[in-house]
Protein backbone atom coordinates (compact mmCIF):
# COMPACT_ATOMS: atom_id res chain seq x y z
CA UNK A 1 0.00 0.00 0.00
CA UNK A 2 1.36 3.43 -0.98
CA UNK A 3 0.96 5.93 1.87
CA UNK A 4 1.94 9.58 1.61
CA UNK A 5 2.11 12.04 4.48
CA UNK A 6 1.37 15.73 3.90
CA UNK A 7 2.44 17.61 7.07
CA UNK A 8 1.78 21.20 7.99
CA UNK A 9 0.28 23.59 10.46
CA UNK A 10 -2.82 24.30 8.32
CA UNK A 11 -3.84 27.29 10.45
CA UNK A 12 -6.22 27.60 8.70
CA UNK A 13 -6.47 25.19 5.80
CA UNK A 14 -6.74 27.05 2.48
CA UNK A 15 -8.05 26.21 -0.97
CA UNK A 16 -4.39 25.94 -2.02
CA UNK A 17 -3.92 23.17 0.54
CA UNK A 18 -7.04 21.42 -0.76
CA UNK A 19 -5.69 21.63 -4.30
CA UNK A 20 -2.54 19.78 -3.18
CA UNK A 21 -4.54 17.21 -1.16
CA UNK A 22 -6.88 16.46 -4.06
CA UNK A 23 -4.04 15.95 -6.52
CA UNK A 24 -1.72 14.09 -4.13
CA UNK A 25 -4.53 11.74 -3.10
CA UNK A 26 -4.46 10.35 -6.66
CA UNK A 27 -0.81 9.33 -6.21
CA UNK A 28 -1.31 7.26 -3.05
CA UNK A 29 -3.64 4.62 -1.72
CA UNK A 30 -3.84 6.69 1.48
CA UNK A 31 -2.85 10.31 1.97
CA UNK A 32 -2.40 11.32 5.59
CA UNK A 33 -2.80 15.04 6.23
CA UNK A 34 -0.78 15.47 9.41
CA UNK A 35 -1.29 18.58 11.53
CA UNK A 36 1.95 19.46 13.28
CA UNK A 37 1.89 20.80 16.81
CA UNK A 38 4.60 23.44 17.04
CA UNK A 39 5.03 24.60 20.65
CA UNK A 40 6.88 27.71 19.42
CA UNK A 41 3.82 29.10 17.62
CA UNK A 42 0.54 30.56 18.81
CA UNK A 43 -1.96 29.26 16.27
CA UNK A 44 -5.41 30.65 15.61
CA UNK A 45 -6.89 27.18 16.18
CA UNK A 46 -5.72 24.40 18.49
CA UNK A 47 -4.29 21.27 16.92
CA UNK A 48 -7.52 19.40 17.71
CA UNK A 49 -9.58 22.15 16.07
CA UNK A 50 -7.36 22.15 12.98
CA UNK A 51 -7.71 18.37 12.69
CA UNK A 52 -11.49 18.73 12.86
CA UNK A 53 -11.55 21.60 10.34
CA UNK A 54 -9.43 19.55 7.95
CA UNK A 55 -11.72 16.55 8.35
CA UNK A 56 -14.67 18.78 7.46
CA UNK A 57 -12.86 20.27 4.46
CA UNK A 58 -11.68 16.94 3.03
CA UNK A 59 -14.82 14.77 3.28
CA UNK A 60 -14.98 14.71 -0.53
CA UNK A 61 -11.60 12.95 -0.79
CA UNK A 62 -12.20 9.29 0.11
CA UNK A 63 -8.61 8.16 0.72
CA UNK A 64 -7.55 10.97 3.06
CA UNK A 65 -6.96 10.48 6.74
CA UNK A 66 -6.37 13.51 8.98
CA UNK A 67 -4.20 13.17 12.07
CA UNK A 68 -2.22 15.34 14.47
CA UNK A 69 1.33 14.82 15.70
CA UNK A 70 4.25 16.38 17.50
CA UNK A 71 7.87 15.35 17.47
CA UNK A 72 10.16 14.41 14.61
CA UNK A 73 8.48 14.22 11.21
CA UNK A 74 10.51 11.25 9.97
CA UNK A 75 9.53 9.23 13.06
CA UNK A 76 5.87 10.09 12.56
CA UNK A 77 6.03 9.16 8.85
CA UNK A 78 7.60 5.79 9.71
CA UNK A 79 4.93 5.20 12.38
CA UNK A 80 2.37 5.51 9.58
CA UNK A 81 4.16 2.82 7.50
CA UNK A 82 5.41 5.35 4.98
CA UNK A 83 8.61 6.98 3.86
CA UNK A 84 7.09 9.66 1.59
CA UNK A 85 6.49 13.28 2.58
CA UNK A 86 4.35 15.46 0.30
CA UNK A 87 5.02 19.18 0.39
CA UNK A 88 3.05 21.84 -1.45
CA UNK A 89 4.83 24.78 -3.03
CA UNK A 90 3.46 28.15 -4.07
CA UNK A 91 6.58 29.95 -5.28
CA UNK A 92 10.32 29.66 -5.69
CA UNK A 93 10.82 31.02 -2.17
CA UNK A 94 8.80 28.05 -0.81
CA UNK A 95 11.06 25.68 -2.75
CA UNK A 96 14.25 27.05 -1.20
CA UNK A 97 12.89 26.63 2.32
CA UNK A 98 11.31 23.21 1.69
CA UNK A 99 14.37 21.95 -0.20
CA UNK A 100 16.58 22.70 2.82
CA UNK A 101 14.12 20.93 5.12
CA UNK A 102 13.96 17.92 2.80
CA UNK A 103 17.76 17.68 2.72
CA UNK A 104 17.93 17.87 6.51
CA UNK A 105 15.36 15.08 6.88
CA UNK A 106 17.20 13.02 4.23
CA UNK A 107 20.42 13.49 6.18
CA UNK A 108 18.79 12.37 9.43
CA UNK A 109 16.90 9.52 7.74
CA UNK A 110 18.15 8.44 4.28
CA UNK A 111 15.05 6.30 3.71
CA UNK A 112 12.80 9.40 3.65
CA UNK A 113 11.65 10.78 0.29
CA UNK A 114 10.04 14.18 -0.27
CA UNK A 115 7.69 14.89 -3.16
CA UNK A 116 7.16 18.54 -4.08
CA UNK A 117 3.90 19.61 -5.74
CA UNK A 118 3.18 23.07 -7.13
CA UNK A 119 -0.23 24.42 -6.24
CA UNK A 120 -2.50 25.63 -8.99
CA UNK A 121 -1.72 29.16 -10.15
CA UNK A 122 -5.22 30.04 -8.92
CA UNK A 123 -3.90 29.70 -5.35
CA UNK A 124 -0.22 30.60 -5.68
CA UNK A 125 -0.75 33.81 -3.69
CA UNK A 126 -2.81 32.20 -0.90
CA UNK A 127 -1.20 31.55 2.49
CA UNK A 128 -2.65 30.85 5.91
CA UNK A 129 -0.97 33.94 7.34
CA UNK A 130 -2.34 36.05 4.49
CA UNK A 131 -5.84 34.67 5.10
CA UNK A 132 -5.63 35.56 8.79
CA UNK A 133 -4.43 39.07 8.05
CA UNK A 134 -7.09 39.65 5.38
CA UNK A 135 -9.90 38.37 7.61
CA UNK A 136 -8.60 40.26 10.66
CA UNK A 137 -9.10 43.56 8.86
CA UNK A 138 -12.52 42.63 7.47
CA UNK A 139 -11.48 41.49 4.01
CA UNK A 140 -13.40 38.76 2.21
CA UNK A 141 -11.83 35.31 2.29
CA UNK A 142 -14.52 33.64 0.19
CA UNK A 143 -12.93 31.33 -2.36
CA UNK A 144 -9.61 31.32 -0.50
CA UNK A 145 -10.58 28.87 2.26
CA UNK A 146 -13.01 25.96 2.09
CA UNK A 147 -16.57 27.20 2.42
CA UNK A 148 -17.22 24.89 5.39
CA UNK A 149 -14.62 26.69 7.54
CA UNK A 150 -14.86 30.26 6.28
CA UNK A 151 -17.23 31.44 9.02
CA UNK A 152 -15.20 29.68 11.73
CA UNK A 153 -12.08 31.60 10.69
CA UNK A 154 -13.92 34.94 10.69
CA UNK A 155 -15.54 34.23 14.08
CA UNK A 156 -12.26 33.18 15.69
CA UNK A 157 -10.55 36.35 14.55
CA UNK A 158 -13.42 38.46 15.89
CA UNK A 159 -13.00 36.76 19.28
CA UNK A 160 -9.41 37.96 19.42
17 included as an active-site residue:
yes
129 annotated to bind ligand: yes
25 annotated to bind ligand: no
Strands in the chain per DSSP E: 3-8, 30-36, 64-69, 84-89, 113-118
Q: Which listed residue (2, 41, 60, 147) is catalytic?
A: 41
Q: Which listed residue (25, 50, 82, 90) is catalytic?
A: 90
92 annotated to bind ligand: no
23 included as an active-site residue:
no
CA–CA distance, 160 with 156 (Å, rounded to integer): 7
In the three-class reduction of DSSP (H, G, I as helix; E, B as strand; rest coil), residue 3 is classed as strand
158 annotated to bind ligand: no
89 annotated to bind ligand: yes
Bridge-based pairing of strands 3-8 and 84-89 is parallel
Give the list of residues 6+ apart from residue 127 with CB closer than 8 angstroms, or none.
Answer: 14, 16, 90
23 annotated to bind ligand: no
106 included as an active-site residue:
no
Active site residues per annotation:
17, 41, 90, 128
Binding residues: 9-10, 17, 41, 73, 87-90, 98, 123-129
Binding residues for ATP: 9-10, 17, 88-90, 98, 123-129
Amino acid sequence: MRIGVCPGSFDPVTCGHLDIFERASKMFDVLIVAVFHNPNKKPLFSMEERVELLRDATTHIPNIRVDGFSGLLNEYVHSQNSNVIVRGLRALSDFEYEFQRALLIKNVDPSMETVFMMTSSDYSFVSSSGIKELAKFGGAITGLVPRCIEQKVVERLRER
